[in-house]
Structure 1
Amino acid sequence: MEEQGEITFLNDIDALSTNYTIKVKIISLWRKKMKGNERETYRIDMVLMDEMGTKIQASCLHRLFSKFERHLNVDECLIIKRPPLAANTASFKIVPNNQKLSFYYHTFVEKCSNWDGPQFVFDFVDFKDVLSQRYKEGTTIDFIGYVVVCYKIEDTNKKNGTKGKRLNLKLQDLENVEVDLTLWDNYAKDMSSYMVSQDREAHVVIAVHFGVVKTYKGKWGISNNFDGTRLFINDNFDQMLTFKEKFIAKLVASAESSSHVGSFVICSVEDEFMNNDPKKVIIVGTIVAIVSYKMWYYDGCNYCKSKVEQNFETYDREDGTSDVRDEKMYQCSNKDCPGKDVFPMSRFKIPIRVQDSTGTVTLTLFDHEALKFVGKTAKELIQIQDEILKTNEVPRAYPVEFETLLNLKCAFVIRVTYFNITNAVENYGISVVTNDVDILDQLNKKWKIDQIDVSDSFAMSQSDFQDAGGETAKDGVSYTGDNSTPVSKDSVADLYQSSSDLKHNLGDVYAIEDGIGSSESKPRISGGSICSDEAIANN
């Protein structure tokens, strides 16, 4: 290895001379293909960083690959002598600099093992600044966030006619601000592969170097650049480890987070409704009542969502009497729960009555879906009711915020379980619910819902449902494919059909398997075992 000589920092170079030596690290690298020939590389582009953390773009043309390509690898530290400055005329600039470095014939490059600079230099943006449109669309940014939800990877068509991949995620920062992230092509594949892997960590944090601000249908979000972006998933550099530690501590301390068990993987809402599993059922109907005689929340495990019970530990006093320790101890009802320090978290299980032209059915709305409509967590609503009690007023049977659910026409994905069939239990857990007009329209076109029977309606009032006990109305029309199957008929007499008749009808329609009890739309994967919402409701 040659003597390094005097090193010039990137801030000190100019176009007056090429007689300088720089020490840099390649922190991003991508290849530009030949026009009309995707198999050949025309140019290698890079982002270089010196030991002061200053960055600059650089490029090497294909005719010089034989001289330099072996040195050009991500995270490689290089000594570069006599690199000329060139005009950065690209319309898209990863680094906001109108000049870049070039490799040419008289440039000298060698590897360097002595790097005293930072591993990375991120300039993470706040999600609130993205959503408030502080940055223009197309601005290159760095960002870090906790993966709240990762949706199913999708095929997409590019403008040039080729196929690509797209993956949508929802990220959250330490201020509880959420933003939508879209990853494309190889970034989408890498992220999806990690999220569905069996041995991944439950809590997933990602950082993106050289991402971009983007909009879609007027909604602001973030994405990867097609060139230059680096994606880090649960990496071990200091900034990511610090963020993850703070976020998990916040989750543990908060009884209102629905992300406590880890980052979820679910399919998209559109896919859930338009490509429905035969063991699931789609119902399109209107929410006509909240069942007021049932509890709308429960104490769930901070690890697996199962019901939590409080244990009382007794001890013997010195005088021979027994007493109960003041310290509260909790036990999860799920024997497979991986949690150690279990504590209760208030969670939604809102019983609603849904009606269409053929009947009415009781469904249960759980945390993930309830939050989309109610706007407050179960913990927040319980606190509001506690304040009302302090004034000696009698609180409502359920929070006033639930009124926003009434008269909403929605599509529901529910799951008919073996337990429902064998015990004639007509309370079904909701996997996914949407009132998206486009999805409702697609469902109507696919199954001609509006043409089934629109002649009659039960038109029951809120008080009717409160007094009926949920036992006089059977299920509505359920869908398992291209045909509709009435689970209960359109006459009042059939609302009283026997349990054996109901079991027979549903048994004919659905493929029932032992042990089916999940109300999740697709496997929602975390590092530990997650108890299904429907199993919770039956506890």
Structure 2
Amino acid sequence: MAAVLNGFSYTGHKQTITLDWKSILKKCDDFSGPVNGFMFIDFNSIIEQTCPRDTFFDLIGQIVSVRPLETSNPVASKHYVKLTLSNIEYVHLKVTIFGTQAYQLSQYLKENPDGVGQAKSHFEVTKMFINSDIVEINEYKKSITSLQSYSSSYIDDFKGTFPLKTICEITEPLKEMKFLLVASIVNIRQNLHWYYEACYKCGKKITSVSKHNHSYTDPHKITETVVVQCKDPSCNNSDFRTVIKYIIPINVQDGTGTIGLTLFDREAKRLLDIIAYELKKIHEAAGDSDALFPMQLNVLKNRKFAFLVDITKYNVNNYNNIYTILKLTEDVSIVSELESKLELMSIESVSLNQVPLESDDVVQSVQKDVISQTDESFTPSTVNKSTATTQGKISTDLKRNLQDIYDVDFGDDLSSTKAKRKSIGEETPLLIPKVEK
């Protein structure tokens, strides 16, 4: 039970109970219902303003930053402290706490400078629990603790059984596979969408469909409206709503070439520390075109990562070599370890390929087109397979200019989704054997 103060109730019920001097209260020792009756809400729904209006809800999160208590107002109830809460998905929500709760939180943080405070409250913060021994907070603590094991398993994927590749080896989507790649992000591709509208429940891209509306007054009159819905029919109920998610098209480069990858919402949020909805609002407020990516994305450039990349069935069937990033890490130890493996692979490759040649033998180079992607274009490049696609010649110096590696040949093969043609260099003469009779 809780008192109704200032016309606000902690529950969604409009009914109230009036107690007088004849009322008898007795503690219930076997109550099976929820003790606090929490109704938690997702941080994104508050940030994107899709949460229910004119109602109450609860938040649970980890305090990641807090400002000093502000006491300049002479009225103590208007003293406040500003803080930032983070949920398990690393979404940050700014919260302001007033009055008694502000002093309560400040005192707790002062006494526990190395501790982590968990906060749970109405959005306007009329009630607050700090590390209380209740089921909901204990479960949340366990989920935070499990993040370490999640992080460990996340990193394990870069030390597991996935093959390590270079870009020149995977320019053609010949089969479905997952592989590791060490490369630097060199640019974000223009004139492509960097966000999309997704279903709030399943995260899939929504579709626009036409809906026919019949007039009640005129049965022959039919109007048509466009509505959005999820591809999964089970999501299209009264609670259906959309969220903005990242789909950032990037180019990455290693010592053997450049290729396009797609960076999706989970990894993008970790790198940018801002959700797509907020960045879209900033971009629109600046009056920038949707065809241009926000300047905030430039922080991704010139950073070296280890990528876990997926060549999907779609890539193979459509011969599309724009692959999906499943995971990435900037951990120096992991990147260095993978680069060392590449060096070892190159040395082993040289040893295997060293064979004696007779003086009369002629080695003719076989060339193969790969795609070289720069800021605004896709350009086919003719790569000498004996030098560029041999592991012995792979350089890990990612600052190396591509023009030092490739002889650019502007041919007909301009699409990154079309089959590459096998070719013989124009400067390589065909050898006609002389037959002596």
TM-score normalised according to structure 2 size: 0.47
Task: Return the structure number with greater strand share.
Answer: 1
